Amino acid sequence: MIEMRSDTFTLPTPAMRRAMADAEVGDDVYGEDPTVNALEERTAALLGKERACLMPSGTMANLTSVLAHCPRGTKVLVGAETDIYLYEAHGAAVVGGVSYEPLPNLPDGRISLDALAAGFPEEEGDPQFAEVGLICLENTHNRCGGAVLPPGYAEEVRRFADERGVPVHLDGARLFNAAAAMGVSPAAVAGHADSVQFCLSKGLGAPIGSMVAGSEAFVARVRRLRKMLGGGMRQAGILAAAAMVALDTAGRLAEDHEHARLLAKGLADVPGVEVDPSAVQTNIVLFRVAGLAPPEVVRRCRDGGLSIGEFGHGRLRAVTHLGVTRPDVDTALDIIRTAIGRDR
C-alpha cells in the first residue's frame, strides 16, 4: 500500500531506531533526561528562542501555548481553516475557558489585517466583549494545500499585534517544510512569533512528539501545563533521540516537495481531475475528481493500493513524505487513473 493520507504515517528510519536503542535517558519530569535536554537546547537555538519544551503531540503543544498566553475569559483569533480551530477539539475552550474567534483565511493561508482588526472590540476595554489574548497563524497552511505564508506577512502581523499589545503564536506543524520551500532558516520562519510549535512526527519523520519554543517565562508556563494535562514523560530521551536524527536529516524535505510537484503535474494531465500544480509549494497536493464523490475515489484508490484522504470542500488530499519514493508517485498516478476510469 502506498500511503499518502498524511505525513504522520512516516515510520522511523533505521538511523532513528539505532539512536533510540542507544539513547542516554533519565527522568524528564525532573529535568534529568540528557537527550531531551539536548533536543530542547538545540530546538531553541534553531528557532532563535530562549527555551523549548518537548511535547507528546502538536495538539498539546498548541493547547499549552494558548493557555500559557491567554487568561480565562479571553479569546484567540484563529483562521477558520486552521488546524488549531478545526482539528484540536476546541481544547482551550474546554480546559482553559478561552474562546476561539474564527476569521476567514485567504487562499494562501493568510488572515487579512482587516479581518484581524475586526476581531477586536470597537472600543478598547468595553466590558461587554471578550478581550483578545492571542493571534494564531499557521505555516505551512494545511487546509490551504501546504501553502507557505508569503514573505513579509508575518512581519506585518507582528507590527499589528505590537500596536495592540497582543502576542502571536505560530502553529508551525510543518515549519521545516516552510523553511525548505522559502530557502530560509527555521529561525527566519519563527522570528516574528512570540511562541511556536512544530511537529517532529510529520515531514521530519520522527515517531512521536512536537516542540514548543518561546521565552524562558513562557516555556516555564508551558511545562507546568504539560504536567497538568498529563503530558509529563519519564525516559523520553528514547523519543528525543529519534527527533535529533530527524533534525539532522531535515534537508531531505526538498525531495518530498519535488515529489508533490511531480504528482500534481501528473494529475493535471488526467481528464476529469481538477488540480493546480502551481499552487503546490510543499508536500501537500489537493485535487478534485469531476463526477465522483470523494469517498468513492478514496475507496477505489485504496482497492488499487493507494491510500489518500478526503479533505473537505469536495477535495482529496495526497501528502508526500519520506515513505514515498519517485516510483511510488508514478504508481500512484496509474492507480488514480484506473480508479476514476481514465486509463492511458
DSSP state of 5: S
Whether the CA torsion 285, 251, 176, 27 is positive or negative: it is positive
For β-strands 2-3 and 306-307, DSSP reports them as: parallel
Q: Phi/psi of residue 316, each to 5°?
A: -115, 155
Helix (H) / strand (E) element for 209: namely none
Boundaries of every domain in the chain: 7-248, 252-339
**Topology (CATH) of 7-248:** Aspartate Aminotransferase; domain 2 (3.40.640)
Q: What is the DSSP string of 120-164?
A: S-SSTT-TTSPPEEEEEEESSBTTTTSBPPPTTHHHHHHHHHHHH
pLDDT of 344:
47
pLDDT of 151:
86
3 state DSSP class of 21: helix
CATH (residue range 252-339) = 3.90.1150.10
Stretches in the chain below the pLDDT threshold 50:
344
Hey, what's the cell of 335?
Answer: 492507480
pLDDT of 343:
57
Distance CA 286, CA 280 (A): 8
Half-sphere CA count of 324, side-chain side, radius 13 A: 33
3 state DSSP class of 109: coil
